[in-house]
Amino acid sequence: INLASPKDDLWAKSRAAQKDELVRAHAYAIPHVVLHPGSHTGAGDEFGIARIAEALNRIHDETPECADTATCLEIMAGQGNVLGRNLEQLRAIIDQVEDKRRVGVCLDTCHAYATGYDIRTAEGYAGFMAEVERWLGLDAVKVWHFNDSKGALGSNLDRHVHIGEGEIGAEGFGHILNDARWDGTAMLLETPKEDTLEEDAMNLARLCALVEDGARIPPGLRSQQGE
């Protein structure tokens, strides 16, 4: 799916595919669908941003029955012509979407770090949150993707690694997990996976161990804390 594509045939196919994703999610009462904004492939940021917003507006016009399922634009790592490389670009897309109730944001930890937002320290995390509040408002953030980063800060390298094994480090995730403002916000693992669930269990245990107040961990995961 590339809603920023300057090629009309690919843009139409991408719109149809995203519409299908939205309809399917709505059928299962899924409240959010995460979307990579797309690449303008050389047509320019302004063109691509307008193209994404127009696609979403058309999809929304065609799916009024799906108004309770929002599309969440994901922050990207900043590689090439990919849009969504910073909070300002996400804001620019949202500004052109007519029904703002139907759009939100997904913050991916690896992408945010790779594009230059330093969440490793308490000071850095506070600065990032101030920027989120400035450009989007915290209420716009509906989903977090958790993954450590193989690449250095500002490297634009989109390579996910296990929690605590990358450049962000465990402390960075602790800042997010212990921020009560995110209670009730969807948080999903996007770490490397093999054929079993062992890696997921390992990463969940590492995240649970970072939560200072064990009562804030969902009951089904409390056994993971401290492992």
Element (H, E) at 199: helix 198-210
Burial environment of residue 221 by CB neighbours within 10 A (0 to 12, 13 to 18, 19 or more): middle
Q: pLDDT per residue over 78-117, tens digit each?
A: 999 999 999 999 999 999 999 999 999 999 999 999 999 9
- Residue 97's pLDDT is 98
Q: Residue 213's pLDDT is what?
A: 79
Percent pLDDT > 90 in the chain is 90
Parse the chain into domains and list their residue ranges: 8-202
Residue 219 scores a pLDDT above 80: no
Residue 224 has pLDDT above 80, yes or no: no
CATH classification of 8-202, choosing from 3.30.43.10, 3.40.630.30, 3.40.50.300, 3.20.20.150? 3.20.20.150
Query: Residue 195's pLDDT is what?
Result: 84
Q: State mean pLDDT over 188-199.
A: 91
**DSSP of 41-88:** TTS-HHHHHHHHHHHHHHHHHH-GGGTTSEEEEEP----TTBS--SHH
Q: What is residue 216's predicted lDDT score, i.e. its pLDDT?
A: 65
